[in-house]
């Protein structure tokens, strides 16, 4: 049954029963009886309703490294949840069953779980945080806001894993509720966002800068896709933007593409391409560049001290081992590693 409807937040009425959704940078104008581009917000008699306010379609306990967040309470668990739906239509989506079904008019599945129940589950599981992820947290904004507010009161941290295509109003409303974000920077060309994602690059860049201003801990992820966004000049532009506009301490995750959803005609990203992008990131001045979805152990998974070069955190898949951090500082030269909760992991030699 898909008739679960709650009045949405962040919209305004227009003439003739139309409404404008103000939640994401599409700013859909929706006539009565129709839905916005995401397929989960519907104009019902001149009022905007959300169809996913209480429809959690995925709920798991994950390592925080899986988000990926490498400098935010490493080694802790995060209760992760998502509903169906997304405001983007990426051809390479690796979670299309969850994200794209509502846009295709399919049933919106999910379990009715309240924010209070989610917080209780996180506490029972001894999670350090709650992550709003899997599809796109923007389109389940109301559930995020309710849950994050309750989580905050209980001392839990809130994480969003997002495509960064929010409206300024959405980011402002989340403001002090969110502690950390991993935001996709999918490419550095408007054409890519237009043709591959049904979106625009500019709002994402503006939001990344705004998030930096909000004080959330921020990490950025790029899925490197052969032939689409792996041109060295584009990667240099991207790395330069992150280093100059977001700061050289912003971790950049370069993730390996696997053929999925519509984009089945391309090979997985060669390791050499990822390593080329890794070098470009470091040449741009980024101090923490990581490789993800790779098959074998690689230095690109580890955290090194940018001052003395010592390895600080070793990773294998989603497992992390402290080999050089003491109270959040490099045990060799004393440099403080940027992030949150880094002083909480047992120091080098104490495990
Ligand atoms: S969230 Fe975005 S895509 Fe969905 S209705 Fe609102 S403006 Fe449109």
> What ranges do the domains of the chain cover?
6-50, 58-301, 311-351
Tens of pLDDT along the chain (351 residues)? Answer: 444 679 999 999 999 999 999 999 999 999 999 999 999 999 999 999 999 998 999 999 999 999 999 999 999 999 999 999 999 999 999 888 888 989 888 889 999 999 999 999 999 999 999 999 999 999 999 999 999 999 999 999 999 999 999 999 999 999 999 999 999 999 999 999 999 999 999 999 999 999 999 999 999 999 999 999 999 999 999 999 999 999 999 999 999 999 887 888 899 999 999 999 999 999 999 999 999 888 777 899 999 999 999 999 999 888 999 999 999 999 999 999 999 999 878 665 444
Query: What is the three-class DSSP state of 93?
Result: coil
Query: What is the three-class DSSP state of 343?
Result: coil
**Cβ of residue 48 lying under 6 Å from some atom of ligand 1:** no
**Cβ of residue 27 lying under 6 Å from some atom of ligand 1:** yes
pLDDT at 350: 47
Dist. CA 38 → ligand 1 center (Å)? 6
Task: Give the integer Cα–Cα distance in Å for 189 and 200.
Answer: 9
pLDDT at 4: 61
Closest ligand 1 atom to Cα of 27: 7
Answer yes or no: are the C-beta atoms of 106 and 157 closer than 8 Å: no
Dist. CA 279 → ligand 1 center (Å)? 37
**Cβ of residue 89 lying under 6 Å from some atom of ligand 1:** no
Closest ligand 1 atom to Cα of 41: 5
Question: Which two tokens mark 127?
Answer: 């999670």
Dist. CA 29 → ligand 1 center (Å)? 9
Q: Which residues contact 39 (CB under 8 A, 6 or more apart)?
A: 85, 101, 102, 103, 104, 105, 108
Closest ligand 1 atom to Cα of 22: 7
Dihedral (CA of 134, 247, 25, 158) sign: positive
**Cβ of residue 36 lying under 6 Å from some atom of ligand 1:** yes
Dist. CA 230 → ligand 1 center (Å)? 29
Q: What kind of architecture, by CATH, is found in domain 58-301?
A: Alpha-Beta Barrel (3.20)
Question: Which two tokens mark 4?
Answer: 């679960």
Cα distances (angstroms) measured from residue 31 to each of 17, 38, 41, 45? 7, 15, 11, 9
Atom 7, ligand 1: residue with shortest CA distance: 27
Cα distances (angstroms) measured from residue 29 to each of 23, 47, 87, 198? 12, 12, 14, 16
Dist. CA 340 → ligand 1 center (Å)? 32
**Cβ of residue 24 lying under 6 Å from some atom of ligand 1:** yes
Q: Of the candidates 89, 268, 266, 97, which has an alpha carbon nearest to the alpha carbon of residue 165?
A: 89
**Cβ of residue 28 lying under 6 Å from some atom of ligand 1:** yes
Please give the full DSSP string across 267-323, using - where no structure is assigned: PPPPHHHHHHHHHHHHHTT-S-EEEES-SS--GGGSEE-TTT--EEEEEETTEEEES
**Cβ of residue 26 lying under 6 Å from some atom of ligand 1:** yes
Dist. CA 96 → ligand 1 center (Å)? 18
Atom 4, ligand 1: residue with shortest CA distance: 38
**Cβ of residue 37 lying under 6 Å from some atom of ligand 1:** yes
Q: What are phi and psi of 189, to 5 degrees?
A: -130, 135
Dist. CA 17 → ligand 1 center (Å)? 17
Dist. CA 41 → ligand 1 center (Å)? 7
Atom 6, ligand 1: residue with shortest CA distance: 21
Q: Find the helix or strand (DSSP H, E) in which 160 lies.
A: strand 157-162
Dist. CA 302 → ligand 1 center (Å)? 38
């Amino acid at each position: 049954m898909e008739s679960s409807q709650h009045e949405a937040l962040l919209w305004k009425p227009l003439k003739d029963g139309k409404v404008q959704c103000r939640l994401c940078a599409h700013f859909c104008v929706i006539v009565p009886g129709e839905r916005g581009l995401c397929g989960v917000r519907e104009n019902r008699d001149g009022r905007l309703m959300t169809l996913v306010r209480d429809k959690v379609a995925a709920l798991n306990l994950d390592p925080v490294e899986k988000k990926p967040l490498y400098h935010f309470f490493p080694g802790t668990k995060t209760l992760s949840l998502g509903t169906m739906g997304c405001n983007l239509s990426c051809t390479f989506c690796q979670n299309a069953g969850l994200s794209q079904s509502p846009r295709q008019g399919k049933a919106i599945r999910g379990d009715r779980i309240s924010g209070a129940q989610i917080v209780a589950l996180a506490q029972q599981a001894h999670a350090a945080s709650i992550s709003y992820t899997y599809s796109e947290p923007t389109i389940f904004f109301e559930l995020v806001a309710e849950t994050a507010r309750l989580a905050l009161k209980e001392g839990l941290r809130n994480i969003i894993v997002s495509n960064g295509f929010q409206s300024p109003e959405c980011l402002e409303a989340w403001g002090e509720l969110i502690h950390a974000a991993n935001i996709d920077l999918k490419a550095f060309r408007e054409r890519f966002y237009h043709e591959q994602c049904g979106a625009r690059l500019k709002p994402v860049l503006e939001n990344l800068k705004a998030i930096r201003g909000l004080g959330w801990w921020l990490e950025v992820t790029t899925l490197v896709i052969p032939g689409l966004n792996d041109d060295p000049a584009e990667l240099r532009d991207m790395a330069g933007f992150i280093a100059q506009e977001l700061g050289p301490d912003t971790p950049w995750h370069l993730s390996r593409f696997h053929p999925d959803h519509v984009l089945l005609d391309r090979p997985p990203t060669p390791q050499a391409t990822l390593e080329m992008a890794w070098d470009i990131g470091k040449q741009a001045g980024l101090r923490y560049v990581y490789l993800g979805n790779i098959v074998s152990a690689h230095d690109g998974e580890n955290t090194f001290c940018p001052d003395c070069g010592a390895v600080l955190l070793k990773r294998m898949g989603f497992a992390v081992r402290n080999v050089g951090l003491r109270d959040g500082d490099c045990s060799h030269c004393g440099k403080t590693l940027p992030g949150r909760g880094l002083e909480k992991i047992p120091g080098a030699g104490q495990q």
